[in-house]
């Protein structure tokens, strides 16, 4: 039982943090590409890379919580 509670807390904390992080990165990218539309494609690549790196923390939390939830 305690495993499920731990998994839920891990997932919630990770998702809150990563949600804020990705939203911050996206808003900055929109600012940048509105200021310099000719650099939009470069900014998009960097944004995707940064979002993937930020997302990976949530993915690690997901994997850890899965291990906790399926542990026997």
Partner 1 sequence: MQTKTVIEAAVGAVVFAACLVGFLFMKGKLKETETPDKKLAKRKKLFFIGMIIGAWFMGGVLLTAFSGMKPGGLHINFEMFSPRVTLPFGNLTLAKTTVTAVIVTALLVILLALFRLICVPKFTDGEPKGMQNAAEIAVEFMDGFVEKATEGNFISLLSPFMLCMALFMAGCAFSELVGARAPTSDLTCTLALGLCTFTLINVCGIRKNGIGGRLKNMGGAMPAMRPVMIPLKAVSDIAVPVSLGCRLFGNMLGGLMVMDLLKGVLGGYASGLPAIAGLYFNLFHPGIQIYIFITLSLTFINEALEMPETT
Q: Could you list the residues that contact partner 1 (CB under 8 A)?
A: 45, 48-49, 52, 55-56, 59-60, 62-63, 66-67, 70
Using the minimum distance from each CB to partner 1, give the nearer residue, 34 or 70: 70
Minimal distance, residue 13 CB to partner 1, in Å: 16
Q: Looking only at Cα atoms, what is the longest distance across the chain?
A: 55
Q: How many C-beta atoms surround the C-beta of residue 66 within 10 A?
A: 12
Minimal distance, residue 2 CB to partner 1, in Å: 19
Of 19, 23, 41, which is closest to residue 32 (Cα–Cα)? 41
């Amino acid at each position: 039982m305690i495993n499920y509670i731990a998994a839920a807390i891990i997932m919630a904390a990770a998702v809150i943090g990563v949600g804020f992080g990705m939203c911050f990165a996206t808003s900055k990218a929109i600012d940048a590409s509105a200021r310099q539309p000719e650099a939009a494609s470069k900014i998009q690549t960097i944004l995707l890379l940064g979002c993937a790196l930020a997302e990976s923390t949530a993915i690690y939390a997901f994997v850890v919580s899965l291990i906790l939830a399926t542990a026997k």
